[in-house]
Amino acid sequence: GKVEFKCFGDSDWAGDTATQNSKSGLIFCMGSGALSCSSKKQVVVDLSSTESEYVGLSLAAKEAFGFGN
């Protein structure tokens, strides 16, 4: 059958109260199993929750391209 590759991610806008940096988390799955998961503090201070999510998606896309190499 068909095996699907999926990525799920979320960001926490200004989650670090000391620095106001956001945090991003993601998990990559293939079929019913997890391939990779991570949680990282973003290096930039985002101006909105939308920007925080966009930065998180960008980080996920960079990691997803790593699976293809």
Residues 5-50: tens digit of each pLDDT = 999 999 999 988 899 999 999 999 999 899 999 999 999 899 999 9
The H-or-E segment that residue 51 falls in is: helix 49-67
b/e map 42-58, b = 16+ CB within 10 Å: beeebeeeebbbebbee
Q: Give the closest residue to 36 by CA, choosing from 11, 6, 2, 4.
A: 6
pTM, rounded to two decimals: 0.77
